Structure 1
Amino acid sequence: MKKSNLLAFAFILISFNAINYSQTRNEENKADFTFVFCTDIHLETERNAVQGFTQAIDTINKLQPKFVITGGDLIMDALGQTYERADSLYNLYQEVTKKIQMPVHNTMGNHEIYGIYKKSGADTTNPEYGEKMFEKRLGKSYYSFDYDGWKFMVLNSIEDTKKSKYIGLIDNKQIDWIKEELAKTDSKTPIVISTHIPFITAFAQKYTGSTVANDSSLVVVNSKEVIDLFKGYNLKLVLQGHLHTVEDIYIDGIHFITGGAVSAAWWTGPNMGFEEGFMFITVKGDEFDWRYVDYGWQVE
């Protein structure tokens, strides 16, 4: 095989059950900055979830990252609950996260969407129906911010099918917005994406079988279209949630990291061998390291 053809193949690294990864492999390098990606908190009044999340926050504060990105599924839940239940959980989340000592950038998950399951009995004319509850309480469902030469793009990967279910999708409005954002971004700028529903995962292949396709509620169905928008740009990292597992899939110079879960198995213990935890990411120049932090929560 010609060398040029060989190089055309994507290099794929899939890592399950890993607790850390280093691009530089040099732990002595001083970090430019650090940040936390904590996903799938599933905050509720039951199962000692408040105590568990508070313990995670205490650990985060001790690590002193520059900021925190949440990966969605912040509460449990708004999809199929009454307005009163959803409202109380959003209020609880906002109250508990006041303990975080650094800026928090929220990603919307499916469990933050109010009332789209019929069992909720929600009125579709309610001004907080669907994604509007998140937007009213926590801000835009997709946006970008910059930190120390890196660009972070937080996406809304949830699409209401209007059939009492959701799928993973980046809609056309966001596609246009991404194009606009990239048009004003230097091609050398390192870029990080946060999405609740994964772009790329080997979840179904690992846990069900090698020929099984991922369900449309487990992955973003148009992820290839979205990733292709970043050709010619320096997309380094896609941070993903939803699956309560840890993965690092490396394709074409991009790491697709599924970030475990603060709640592990929804506050009942480890999930598929993964403890309650979050990602601690160290940035040096245009490279990064990561490690999954088990913050020590024990189910009572």
Structure 2
Amino acid sequence: MSQKRRTFLKSLGLAGVGFTLSPNLLQAQPTKPAKGKDLSIVSLSGKVHNGGKGIAGVAVTDGYNIVLTDASGKYELESNATAEFVYLSVPRGYELPNENSIARFYQRIKPSRNRFKADFALQKLAQDDTKHNFVVWADPQIISEADAEELKTKTAPDLKQLVNSYPANTLFHGIGCGDLVWDKFELFEDYQQAVATAGIPFYQVIGNHDMNLDARTDDGSAEKFKELFGPTYYSFNRGDIHYVVLDDVFFIGTAKKYIGYLTERQLEWLEQDLANVKPGSTVVVNVHIPVYTHQHLRNKEKEEPMGGVVSNRKELYRILKPYKAHIMSGHTHFNEKIFEGDNVIEHVHGTVCGAWWTGPICYDGTPNGYGVYEVDGPEVRWYYKSTGLPKEHQVRAYPAGSVPEKPKHIAANVWNWDPEWKVEWLEDGKDMGSMERITALDPLSVELHAGATKPAKHKWVEPLLTNHMFFAQPSANAKLITIRATDRFKQVFTTQLDLSQQS
């Protein structure tokens, strides 16, 4: 026996076995493979009906494939054991099914002998839904009972009051656009109570702070969200509008790390979903992480943030190309409008919680609040509603000297601005033309957020550069400045600065 052979066997405690030891005895004994994921076929079937009468042409899905109900409202779908829900895209003309205002359009699959039967009862609306409204609550993001009280006693009543300000029976629904809570799952109950107080059906989007942070992959990160709110991607219809909700937060398996990304499964499903929507229709897509923003450009950063935009957004844009699309997003705690080609407008929303419930504004100066959208057929109009303030509040003005870089200029923050707006100013009643738009910090945000000690509640909050600050230089003896902002829908909003009262 060679010295190397003897040394090896000795290290195993087998040196005395001799030359005739079979090499096979030194190999690990085979073990039974672990049981893999169940991929067995599950047959789904059921009926979509109104008082027992079948509803034809309703899209039903397991999250992989989509079928339409037949003339009697029945459907059959060959699924598999990995599918978690069977759910439908509520058709126009029907109430949005909900439980205490939380949308319930799904059933969790519990197969018996590889079959599962799920019927869906829908109620006809008492009115035509061609005209309707919806709101977008971005980032309630409650981390404490104190935050939850703010949501329940300020935001929710504000929305209820807004709804009641419209004519009786005006149709409303809401979108909770992600980060419903801030990693504190016990506060989901408070979020649901706030939604119930608001009193309109709400659909939910999953955000990065709504995920199970101890999941080992993205597949398990939505476990709690699904338990409470159902699937993370789905669609529904109201009037001429087709609404889609997607999950664009991809958890990478370590706490609080994620990227903006749409999985292949969702993109395949979306292609099927939109195949049932007539080209040229208006589609409203709801996500948490913005598909795109210009914040990294304002900050002069070389690369866009992986957790701040959707990396494979070009494919989403391609799928949406045949439609007139609005994308609703949150996540950023600032307000911005993004235009992609001639068919996509993205509404990046200021947040319900502002700068994480530290005060009255987001860190670009946008007030705490939410988006309001008024739909008439395929057309959508919108405005931003500041919590606790009249809906006409669309501009905040600052006297000269408020922005150090422009010491002789008055300033105005027009947070819902887009290129179709006009922002003009008058000096003592004389029309002075347009104000100049310059990327800058909002002075109130600087006052409330700038520096290592502010705000006391969350010291890491800092003001952010924004593209909706406007400037003009008044004359030395000017007394009254009027700022007039006209939105793309010809709504005019004004505010004034009385310079005679300033030293």
* Shorter-chain TM-score tier: 0.7 to 0.9
- 1:110-259 superposed matches below 5 A: 110-116=208-214, 130-164=221-255, 165-206=257-298, 208-209=299-300, 212-232=302-322, 234-252=323-341, 253-259=343-349
Secondary structure at the counterpart of residue 61 of structure 1: helix
Shift of 1:89: 1.6
User: Superposition pairs for residues 100-115 of structure 1, below 5 Å?
Assistant: 100-115=198-213
Deviation at 1:150, TM superposition (A): 0.5
Residue number in structure 1 paired with 2:350: 260
* 1:215 alignment partner AA: P
Match of 2:374 in 1: 282
Q: Deviations over 1:189-225 (max 9, x none)?
A: 210000100111112222x12x532211001111111
- Residue 72 of structure 1 aligns with an amino acid whose one-letter code is G
What does residue 3 of structure 1 align with? Answer: none
Aligned to 2:181: 75
Say whether the 8 Å CA contact 2:235–2:242 is kept in structure 1.
Answer: yes
**Distance between the aligned counterparts of 2:155 and 2:188, measured in 1?**
18
State the Cα deviation string for residues 222-249 of structure 1 (Å, max 9, x = none): 11111111222x2320011100111112
Structure 1: which 5+ residue stretches go unaligned?
1-30, 78-84, 117-121
**1:93 and 2:185 equivalent?**
no
- Change in Cα spacing, 1:169 to 1:72, as seen in structure 2 (3 Å) is same
Residues 47 and 265 of structure 1, relative CA distance in 2, 3 Å threshold: farther
Cα-to-partner distance string for 1:264-296 (whole Å, 9 max, x where unaligned): 000002222121100011112322221111112
C-alpha distance in structure 2 between counterparts of 1:92 and 1:46, whole Å: 8
Write the distance in 1 (CA, Å) between the matches of 2:275 and 2:262: 18
Q: Deviation of residue 184 (structure 1)?
A: 1.3
Secondary structure, aligned partner of 1:229: helix
Q: Distance in 1 between matches of 2:152 and 2:330?
A: 16
Amino acid paired to 2:303:
A
Q: Which amino acid aligns with 1:36?
A: V
C-alpha displacement of 1:70 = 1.1
C-alpha distance in 1, partners of 2:239/2:283?
Answer: 12
Aligned residue-pair number: 250
- Residue 158 of structure 1 and its aligned partner are, at CA, apart by 0.9
Give 1:137 deviation, angstroms.
Answer: 0.7
Q: Which amino acid aligns with 1:157?
A: D
> Aligned-pair distance for 1:53?
4.3
- Give the letter aligned to residue 260 of structure 1: G
Query: What are the superposed Cα offsets for residues 52-99 of structure 1, whole Å, 9 maximum, x if unpaired?
Result: 44311112112225100111000012xxxxxxx42x122222233221
Moved more, 220-229 or 31-40: 31-40
- Tell me the secondary structure at the aligned position of residue 281 of structure 1: strand
Q: SS in structure 2 opposite 1:216?
A: coil
The 8 Å contact of residues 107 and 196 in structure 1, kept in 2 or not, is answered as yes
CA deviation map 1:153-192 (0-9, x unaligned): 0000111112431111110110110011011111132100
Contact map agreement 2:249 2:260 (CA 8 A) in 1: yes
- 8 Å Cα contact 2:152/2:193 also seen in 1: no
Alignment of 1:63 onto 2:162: yes
Distance 2:174 2:356 in 1: 21
| Runs of 4+ residues over 6 Å off in structure 1 | none
Which sections of structure 2, spanning at least 5 residues, go unmatched?
1-129, 164-170, 390-454, 458-503
Partner of 1:15: none
Structure with higher helix content:
1
Q: In structure 2, what is the Cα distance between the partners aligned to 1:231 and 1:172?
A: 18
State the shift of 1:129 in Å.
Answer: 5.0
Identity %: 27
TM-score by length of 1: 0.77
Task: Give the TM-score normalised by the residue count of structure 2.
Answer: 0.47
C-alpha contact 2:138 2:177 (8 A) present in aligned 1? yes
Partners of 1:107 and 1:237 lie apart in 2 by: 16
